[in-house]
Amino acid sequence: MTRLLALLAVLAALLLGLPVAAALALSAASNFPPASSTDGTAGIGRSADVSASGAATRVLRWADSHAGDRYRMGANGPHAWDCSSFTQAAWAKAGVRLPRIAQDQRDWLADGHGTRIPPGHEQAGDLIFWDSYLGPRTIGHVVLVHDPQRRTTIEAHNTRLGVGHFTYQPRHHRYEIWRPDLAATATT
């Protein structure tokens, strides 16, 4: 069913002259409920799927509440974000004070404030850092894992799509996956 929806999204994008990638992202995002429902029951990415369930639940609940916000490079909220300010604000809800910039977040986690996670072992709330247009060794984007089984994220994506749920491929532009230490606080 998911493949059929993706195919229909691509065909609609081609017929309407829209970017195919945007249509795929939007069709994928529309198939997944938020991490928690308004009645307190869990949905996709629910806390039972996460070892640090309370922290990840707080992170994802906050992130889901900002789906639909705008993306703006350098923005720090409360209703417009860039990728790293979004992850910084989300993890602050669990008491983790990440640095402001994506590259600095990755470096800080690698300096003993997080655990590097092998691909395929990510959990809801983990951070995925991707390479950038500057090259494969330079961090240019960071996202929150929303549902690892369905490979969805919640992120401040770009100026056209804003903050929302998107899909990721296990080996497509992925650089590193990190899980913050719950006792961590930023020193920078």
Asked, for residue 91, whether it belongs to a domain, the answer is yes
Q: How many domains does the chain have?
A: 2
pTM above 0.95, yes or no: no
Nearest-angstrom CA–CA distance, 53 and 59: 10
Are 99 and 9 contained in the same domain?
Answer: no
Distances (CA, A) of 129 to 41, 101, 109, 145: 30, 11, 11, 11
Q: With cut-offs at 50, 70 and 90, classify the pLDDT of residue 32.
A: very low
Residue-wise pLDDT tens digits, 149-181: 999 999 999 999 999 999 987 665 667 999 999
Q: What is the CATH number of the domain that holds 94?
A: 3.90.1720.10
Q: Which of 178 and 40 is assigned the larger pLDDT?
A: 178
Are 138 and 72 contained in the same domain?
Answer: yes
Q: By residue range, what is the domain housing residue 17?
A: 1-31
Are 157 and 65 contained in the same domain?
Answer: yes
Question: According to the model, what pLDDT value does residue 18 have?
Answer: 47
Question: According to the model, what pLDDT value does residue 48 have?
Answer: 31
Asked, for residue 185, whether it belongs to a domain, the answer is no
Using a 10 angstrom Cβ sphere, with 0-12 exposed, 13-18 middle and 19 or more buried, the burial of residue 172 is exposed
Res 113 pLDDT > 90? yes
Question: According to the model, what pLDDT value does residue 82 have?
Answer: 97
Are 101 and 133 contained in the same domain?
Answer: yes
Nearest-angstrom CA–CA distance, 93 and 58: 6
Are 152 and 67 contained in the same domain?
Answer: yes
Question: According to the model, what pLDDT value does residue 175 have?
Answer: 78
Are 124 and 146 contained in the same domain?
Answer: yes
Are 22 and 105 contained in the same domain?
Answer: no
